[in-house]
Amino acid sequence: MVRWSEERVVGAAPDQASLTAARKLAHPGPWSDTGSNDVLVWGKCQGSGRTPYQVSVDTATPAYRCSCPSRKFPCKHALALLLLWARGEAADAGEETADFAQEWANQREDRAAARERRLSGQQPDPVAQAKRLADRLGLMDAGIADFSRWLTDLVRTGLAAARNQPYSWWDGVAARLVDAQLPGLAEQVRAMGSDVHARTDWADHLLFHAGRWWALTKAWAMRDQMTPEEFADLRVALGWATATAGVQGTEALPGPWLVLGAHRTDDGRLQQQRTWIRGPGGRVAVVLDFAMQGQALATPQLAGAELDVAVALYPGSAPPRAMFTTPVAPRGLVRSLGEGCSIAQALEQESAAVAASPWRERYPVLLSGVRVSAADPGWLHDGSGDALPIVDASLDSLLALTGGYPVDVFGELEEGRVRPLTVVVGEAVMTP
């Protein structure tokens, strides 16, 4: 393997801040178990937590993996390891590959082989598939058991004690969940490490999620008794993705599909775009698009647009995730999103959806005849006197668009708050 130069390592850095942080770590002190072979470079870097970060780099592709919570690729630990390797100060060649690096390499090889089989039309080996599934389920079982013990300790010591823990405490739990093939849970735990300090309602927020996490651990033990839809929802909550190829082979539903609204998020590492659509018969679904840092998301669809497109649905309860299976052909714009409901009715609908799938994070609603109130943090009021607080929206923009008059609003209900995505004013469908 040709050793990289320092200039090449510098060129791989996502930004100057990552490179500066990497240079501070690029000395043997915090590193252990370093090594390299003809493709991989690996090592463990001691951070602020008790468990060192596991770092692996495939120098041929290149590709990077680190158990730290950074949203950057490569992170400072991967860059520091490469700098050490480039200087010949660490990670000398060895015959034995670290277990964590070899496991990552094997997973990459399996994915590459699966892609090659799909392209060539070759059928996968059922014995190998069964072994991979058994191995994953074993890892997940152990991870769920470990997480259950941690939740028990969390409740026993009290939520106030958890708030006083450093971020590394939460990150250590998340790293173990990632190793156990539970990335969805890991992301929730990492986010909680910040939420308990950033939110004024942190105690209620933590109690709510701790209860949901405990229910997840119990549901996993009962997975053999679940319907396919229930198990699909559980997989989503744990972060066990459904292969896109399997969804593409299902029956496609013809349009036209109406775009109700869309929302984008960016956590610094991964961008997500949610596009809510409604098809013939009133079926609502959400199209999810993802892009890594530096990549472009799919072109957003305009709220109020009718699309001639076929849609396939992922397994799970309503409203399901969907994907476009044919090119999108806009038909035109509508002047209304249809008949909405009151806030009380929307909450009843959300309650029924959560009863069917307790892991649901958000629910789409079309509210009819609501007014925007300027009272902090911003509220939507309907004619019955019910109200919902607003989140993730410009209150000034909403007030300017609506002028204090009753309007129809499409949005997402999430933890008792509403995120407005689309406003219908008169005969115009607009994005606030």
pLDDT digits (tens, 9 = 90+) for 107-156: 888 777 777 766 666 666 788 778 888 888 999 999 999 999 999 999 99
Residue 120's CB: how many other CB atoms inside 10 A? 8
Instruction: Report yes or no on whether pTM surpasses 0.85.
Output: no
Q: Are 22 and 30 in contact (CB under 8 A)?
A: no
The Cα–Cα gap between 199 and 194 comes to 9
Those residues whose C-beta lies under 8 Å from the C-beta of residue 60, and which sit 6 or more positions away, are 1, 39
Those residues whose C-beta lies under 8 Å from the C-beta of residue 179, and which sit 6 or more positions away, are 67, 100, 139, 143
Q: Are 201 and 195 in contact (CB under 8 A)?
A: no
Question: Which H helix or E strand runs over 177?
Answer: helix 167-179
pLDDT of residue 47: 84
Q: Which residue's entry shows tokens 């709510």?
A: 208
Q: Are 369 and 408 in contact (CB under 8 A)?
A: yes
Q: Please give the average pLDDT of every successive group of 10 residues along the chain, which has 432 residues.
A: 82 89 91 86 86 89 86 89 86 69 84 70 72 88 95 93 90 87 90 91 94 95 93 92 79 91 79 92 90 72 93 91 91 92 95 90 95 89 94 89 93 93 92 89
pLDDT of residue 118: 65
According to DSSP H, which parts of 26-75 are helical? Answer: none
Tell me the backbone φ, ψ of residue 232, rounded to 5 degrees.
-60, -40
pLDDT digits (tens, 9 = 90+) for 4-20: 888 889 988 888 889 99
| DSSP character at residue 93 | B
CA dihedral 369, 374, 376, 378 (to 10 degrees): 30
The Cα–Cα gap between 147 and 75 comes to 26
Question: Nearest Cα to 146, choosing from 154, 156, 135, 134?
Answer: 154
Report helix, strand and coil shares of the chain as percent, to nearest 5.
40, 25, 35
pLDDT of residue 345: 96
The Cα–Cα gap between 242 and 232 comes to 8
Query: What tokens does 56 get?
Result: 């692996």
Strands 284-292 and 270-278 turn out to be antiparallel
pLDDT digits (tens, 9 = 90+) for 63-80: 899 988 787 888 999 999
pLDDT of residue 145: 96
pLDDT of residue 120: 66
